[in-house]
């Protein structure tokens, strides 16, 4: 009993310490903020307009530009600031432009030059870009400096924010992007019954064509193999699962359609996030994928076990004695993929549910826009 009381007292003491620690942290943060504000006020009192000087915002020295290259450097200016730009290169550039990002208006353009020195005043808070086209490989120096137009500007914590904004149609500034779209191949999963046989081999075969939409790049499939002739809740959910997972996968820096074995494509990221259908340990099938219809006839007529020499099939996506599975296959040139199923049981029927979702690229237009966050 005494031990229990001691434990309770210890827990209460720990909770009090944690509570006090949180309060102290909060008070410490508040005091830090108040201290910074006071320091800023003191600095503002000491600084005058005469103290404000040009400060570098971009400084590139001895940079190498490739031949036929286009270089863009971004910065911003606040109202009443002054911007100073200095540039030189060992070869003449085709053009050197300073552009106002919000409107797209050109502040100044210099053509066929290797030396620029330009100063201008900022009338409204605005992001700007320096755009340079190098026809020849060149070494260059670029320096952009900003002189604050007021003490408030100098003390401002403003920064440049880059946004990608989707636009309804193509513009002079827009770029083309691609995203992934999906399409069901079957309204409902396709059901097969691979019958049992009473022969010594115990084999029975079925096949089906999978017609792939024209703009498809790849397709994801699920194959549920079971000894029970009953539909499960998971059957037919592939489209919803692909759609849900695709929204969680980050696409920055990931090539969409490079689906070699070692790639990290968006489609393969989705595949890796899918759970295979429920497995029935007592039932398996030999599963073959074919690109050509003529190979199906060879598959159906062949009685032996030397499959690789008897007919041509997609060896990377086919499997012998497999349980339920999920896979990703590139669209065949013919527009049709054929699946062949071969029984491995001589005692009972095997039931199969095949679901397929086509993946294709959908283009859109977007603009890179900049804004100033204060």
What is the pLDDT at residue 62?
96
Task: Report pLDDT for 51.
Answer: 86
340 pLDDT tier (thresholds 50, 70, 90): very high
Q: What is the pLDDT of residues 166-221, one digit of tens each?
A: 778 887 777 887 778 889 999 999 999 998 765 444 568 999 999 998 889 999 99
Model's pTM, two decimal places?
0.58
**SS3 annotation, the chain:** CHHHHHHHHHHHHHHHHHHHHHHHHHHHHHHHHHHHHHHHHHHHHHCCHHHCCCEEEEEEEEEEECCCEEEEEEEEECCCCEEEEEEEEEEEEEEEEEEECCCCCEEEEEEEEEEEEEEEECCCCEEEEEEEEECCCEEEEEEEEEECCCHHHHHCCCEEEEEEEEECCCCCCCEEEEEEEEEECCCCCEEEEECCCCCCCCCCEEEEEEECCCCEEEEEEEEEEECCCCCCCCCCCHHHHHHHHHHHCCCCCCCCCCCCCCCCCHHHHHHHHCCCCCCCCCCCEEEEEECCHHHHHHHHHCCCCCHHHHCCCCCCCCEEEECCEEEEEECCCCCEEEEEEEECCCCCCEEEEEEEEEEEEEEEEEEEEEEEEC
Q: What is the pLDDT of residues 82-119, one digit of tens each?
A: 999 999 999 999 999 999 988 889 999 999 999 999 99
Highest mean pLDDT among 41-50, 249-258, 350-359: 350-359
Q: How confident is residue 42, by pLDDT bands cut at 50, 70 and 90? A: low
**pLDDT tens digits, residue range 225-251?**
999 999 898 999 999 999 888 877 655
Read off the pLDDT band of 131 (50, 70, 90): very high
Checking if the pLDDT of 364 tops 70, the result is: yes
Whether residue 134 has pLDDT greater than 90: yes
Q: Mean pLDDT score of the chain, rounded to an integer? A: 84
Q: Give the model's pLDDT for residue 23.
A: 55
């Amino acid at each position: 009993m005494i031990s229990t009381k001691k434990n309770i007292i210890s827990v209460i003491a720990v909770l009090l310490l944690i509570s006090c620690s949180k309060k102290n942290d909060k008070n410490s943060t508040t005091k830090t903020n108040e201290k910074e504000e006071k320091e800023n006020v003191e600095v503002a009192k000491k600084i005058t307009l005469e103290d404000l000087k040009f400060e570098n915002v971009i400084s590139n020295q001895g940079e190498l530009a490739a031949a036929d290259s286009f270089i863009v450097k971004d910065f911003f200016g606040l109202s009443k600031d002054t911007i100073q730009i200095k540039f030189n290169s060992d070869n003449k550039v085709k053009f050197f432009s300073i552009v106002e990002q919000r409107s797209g208006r050109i502040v100044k353009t210099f053509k066929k030059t290797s030396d620029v020195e330009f100063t201008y005043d900022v009338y409204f808070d605005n992001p700007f870009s320096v755009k340079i086209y190098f026809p020849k490989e060149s070494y260059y120096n670029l320096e952009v400096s900003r002189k604050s137009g007021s003490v408030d500007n100098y003390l401002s914590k403003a920064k440049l924010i880059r946004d990608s904004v989707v636009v309804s149609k193509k513009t002079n500034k827009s770029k083309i992007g691609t995203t992934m779209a999906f399409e069901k191949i079957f309204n409902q999963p396709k059901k097969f019954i691979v019958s049992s046989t009473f022969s010594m081999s115990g084999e029975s075969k079925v096949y089906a064509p999978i017609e792939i939409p024209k703009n498809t790049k790849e397709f994801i499939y699920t194959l549920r193999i079971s000894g029970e002739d009953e539909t499960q809740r998971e059957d037919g959910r592939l489209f919803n699962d692909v759609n849900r997972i695709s929204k969680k996968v980050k696409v920055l820096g990931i090539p969409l359609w490079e689906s070699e074995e070692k790639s990290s494509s968006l489609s393969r990221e989705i595949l890796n996030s899918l759970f295979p259908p429920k497995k029935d340990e007592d039932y398996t099938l030999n599963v073959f994928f074919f690109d050509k219809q003529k190979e199906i006839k060879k598959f159906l007529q062949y009685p032996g076990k030397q499959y690789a020499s008897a007919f041509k099939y997609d060896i990377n996506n086919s499997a012998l004695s497999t349980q339920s599975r999920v896979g990703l296959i590139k669209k065949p040139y013919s527009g049709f993929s054929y699946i062949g199923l071969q029984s491995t049981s001589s005692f009972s029927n095997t039931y199969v549910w095949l679901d397929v979702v086509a993946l294709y690229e959908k283009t859109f237009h977007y603009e890179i826009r900049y804004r100033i966050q204060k």
